[in-house]
Amino acid sequence: MKQILEESGMRIPYHPELCYMIEKSAVVGRLKGVKIVEFVEANGIDQIIMLEAKTSAPQPGNKNDYVEYLSSVREKFQNSISLLNAAKLKRLPKIYDELPQALKDIDYKNAEYKLYFIIKQSKSEWIIPLSDDLYLQLRPFLKCWNIPKNNFIVVNEEMARTCRIIE
């Protein structure tokens, strides 16, 4: 049965038996300075979904804030992928113990990652440049993990609702 995560002014449905609320984990919280996404969810036996939500984003013209913002979001996805895989390898056994069985059962060698970034208050015309700029920061990391560009999805509230990522 689906539950709802209220995050950044949006209602995000998730399946608790498939989902690891990584941001709310006390174990992960003890890793001071490690930024992570809202949650990680198993989708079937071969797909891992990671979702990050923000209320807004600075405009590219606000150079320092924009660069810092992109860097922070990049860190969240990089750290979350790294933590999840380290947990699966039991290098972080306490985090592994917190994972739902569905995430433990995925064959990580063949898993497909889908990375969703939702920005509630973003105009549609800002999404493409922001997505492109963020992808440029993430590209080397995503290449190392063989995650294709089309699996990194940046949307605003309206787009997320249309795609049924949020209610």
Q: Tell me the per-residue pLDDT of 38-50, one tens digit each, with 9 for 90 and over.
A: 999 999 999 999 9
- At residue 63, the pLDDT reads 81
- At residue 64, the pLDDT reads 82
Res 135 pLDDT > 80: yes
For the chain, give the mean pLDDT: 95
9, 166 contact by CB (below 8 A): no
pLDDT-wise least confident of 19-33, 55-69, 86-100, 104-118: 55-69
Mean pLDDT across 68-94: 97
